[in-house]
Chain A
């Protein structure tokens, strides 16, 4: 385990929300040397709003909390990194007919990479965040575990972390429940004690569709940009290729989605697949939504790579309960995953995260449903 830099203090990532504020307060009250760092992730200077992790009012709250708990606080600009690593891939995923998971990328590339590096340059020996997850030493190195509060657990979003990132991180809320966290904020009189949750995508103001359309219109004219060139309506077809009607642009749809297809008919129809090149949305009945497995790419193991197949519970989206599965590693960091029972809504672009009990083994990105 390598220490970061020469310093001996912890840099807490403070968003101005309840969780990271309590994380900072707990470390400061425990007598640790702590500084608060906020990240300016996208330019909000023209807008003032609250309730989102990046809103400028939230940065002001982070400053106030830092004052309250008596630690220095600074704001770092990470907006160009955030644009490159989170927003642009988010738009590209939709344009390619995938359903992106920007919060995973933000953790992997921003909070536990760019931010760690910036904190290290300031002399921090480690970082702390308000994530609900636990870092546990194990026989093969550090392990990532679910939080004590199963409702709040955020381990799914952290599956791409590696040993050095876990070694540099600390999650003070991992063993607490949300209500204990709020009680702690109230006990310490933090100004954010009654603040609500931020649930939406922090950089999208309003509907995702209008955000995407504005971005794609801006990018139109870029060579090879299919989505911008073909932003007309998509064809709605069934599995046999029969045309059922037309819908909005294909990037508005997500695998498993039922509403907004604009196609009548007696049966309830679900999106089964998106084919951006053909501008087609393939639909079918609920029974056709079930898949027996998936093909994954950019496979990542938090500990040493296993030899042979792995039995684990796989969650195929953040709110998925998980399904027992067999994971087979393939060359080129690919994986073939076979579910014990068929699953609905295997959406390319989402993360499939592997669990054994509370422990996160790793995960991969869904490339497609396995055609078994």
Chain B
């Protein structure tokens, strides 16, 4: 990839030798990404982000039907789906949002029950980006196939961590992003069934078989391809390493009082552990852990870096307070068992420090003095 940021500079649309070299690099990347998904290379459209791919699918469906019709999405979806669906709703589409069960899973029967004669698309992610639960995408796709409804699957969080096979899933389109499995930022892909048409989001040149105008980001695509190649080859080993760290962590965390693992009994990604830490603000815990050298997250962060109660947890029926006392822990391939152990030690320390420091709301020092006007 780095060569494409330095000595190599060809525009893949150019006729000259440099251009041809760049074109070949992209097509090699395309084949590698396709292989990771069990797809054919020509079915892959390279885009700049998972958000772009999700927008492209939803907006294409909406335009096909002049903005009318019905859309079903799960409440777990990434903001790029939820916000786009919200805008399409404002323009006249009808949107049904299917809430998850307390298990963190979407009930396929509820999705089927939400279908209407004018339903144009169902969006269901493969793995929740927050709690990591694996959704019954294949089952939903079967139901939708019977009803003649297309299914879009956001697999950004899942790809590279579990096997993603578009044929086995039985879906119509799928989004993956490179940076979730050690690829570069700025490269993502939309897979679509070859018979489906995409009304492109960006118009202009004829790149990506007229499905996405823009000069290709060669370096990022090459890096994406390499990441896909490695992920496909090492999938089982990665799964073993990640899940053994996660399991060691979840065993160890039992020693900390009043900490519960969300959705532990549900099928989940191997690397994600989502905790409910009773009586502790996730925001303060995240900051204390960061100061102690551990990067974890809580809720979903906005651009200014503040914390909102996670819509996913709220949709699962948790109160705002419970949602704000959650912590999301993700393990990466470069983490070690020793790091898991030292993280457990720090977590226990910080949780007990916070419980000691944070008084109950009623003991707020100023409420007794001055008074409220």
Contact A74 B305 (CB under 8 A): yes
Bound together, the chains give a CA A5 to CA B287 distance in angstroms of 15
- Give the contact stretch, choosing among A21-29, A55-63, A143-151, A175-183: A55-63
Give the CA-CA distance A203 to B373 in the complex, in Å: 19
As a 0/1 sequence over residues 247 to 281 of chain B, the CB contacts with chain A under 8 angstroms (1 = contact) are 00000000000000000000000000000000001
Does the CB pair B370–A298 fall under 8 Å?
A: yes
Structural contact, A120 and B373, CB atoms closer than 8 A: no
What is the bound-complex CA distance between A76 and B304, given in angstroms? 9
Find the B residue at minimum CB distance from A160: B370
Closest to A120 in B: B357
The distance in angstroms between the C-alpha atoms of A6 and B288, with both chains bound, is: 12
CA distance A82 to B71 in the complex (A): 39
Q: Which residue of chain B has the shortest Cβ distance to A59 in the bound complex?
A: B304
A92 within 8 A of B: yes
Q: Using Cβ atoms and an 8 Å threshold, which residues of chain B touch A35?
A: 291
For residue A72, which residues in chain B have a CB less than 8 angstroms away from its CB?
Answer: 290-291
Give CA–CA (A118, B366) in the complex, Å: 14
Using CB atoms, name the residue of chain B closest to A60: B304
* Contact in complex: B357, A121 (CB < 8 Å): yes
> Is A108 part of the contact surface with B, judged by Cβ < 8 Å?
yes
Contacts of A108 in B (CB 8 A): 370
A122 proximal to B (CB < 8 A): yes
Which residues of the partner chain B approach A109 to less than 8 Å between Cβ atoms?
Answer: 366, 370
A75–B287 Cα distance when bound, in Å, is 10
Mask: chain A, 64-101; 1 = CB below 8 Å from B; 0 = not: 00000000111111000000110001001100000000
User: Chain A residues with Cβ under 8 A from B358's Cβ?
Assistant: 121
Contacts between the two chains (Cβ within 8 Å), count: 60
Contacts of A84 in B (CB 8 A): 372
Q: How large is the interface on A (under 10, 10 to 19, 20 to 34, 35 or more residues)?
A: 20 to 34
Q: Is the CB of B366 within 8 A of A113?
A: yes
The reply to whether B373 and A123 contact each other, CB–CB distance below 8 Å, is no
- A-chain residues with CB within 8 Å of residue B373 when the two chains form the complex: 89, 92-93
In the complex, per-residue mask of B286-312: 1 if CB is within 8 Å of any chain A CB, else 0:
011011000000000011111100000
A363 CB to closest chain B CB (Å) equals 13
Complex CA gap A123/B284 in Å reads: 9
Is B97 among interface residues, defined by CB-CB distance under 8 A?
Answer: no
**CB of B365 closer than 8 Å to a CB of A:** yes
A70 to B99, CA, bound (A): 43
Q: In chain B, what residue has the closest Cβ to A92?
A: B373
Interface residues in B350-372 (C-beta closer than 8 Å to A) = 353-354, 357-358, 364-366, 370, 372
| Distance to closest chain A CB from B83 (angstroms) | 13
Q: Which residues of A contact B284 (CB under 8 A)?
A: 118, 121-122
Closest approach, in angstroms, between the C-beta of B140 and any C-beta of chain A? 33
Q: Are A75 and B306 in contact (CB under 8 A)?
A: yes
**Nearest chain B CB to A117 CB, angstrom units:** 7
Instruction: Tell me, rounded to whole Å, the shortest Cβ–Cβ distance linking B355 to chain A.
Output: 10
| Cβ-defined contact, A77 with B291, below 8 A | no
Indicate if the CB atoms of B366 and A56 lie closer than 8 Å.
Answer: no
In the complex, 11 of the A-B residue pairs with CB atoms within 8 angstroms, ordered by the A residue number, are A6-B353, A35-B291, A56-B303, A60-B303, A72-B291, A75-B304, A75-B306, A109-B370, A122-B288, A123-B353, A160-B370
Chain A residues in contact with chain B, CB under 8 A? 5-6, 35, 38, 40, 45, 56, 59-60, 63, 72-77, 84-85, 89, 92-93, 108-109, 113, 117-118, 120-123, 160, 298
- Known A-B contacts: A113-B365, A113-B366, A122-B287. Give 12 more (CB < 8 A): A5-B357, A35-B291, A40-B304, A72-B291, A89-B373, A117-B364, A121-B281, A121-B284, A121-B358, A122-B288, A122-B291, A123-B291
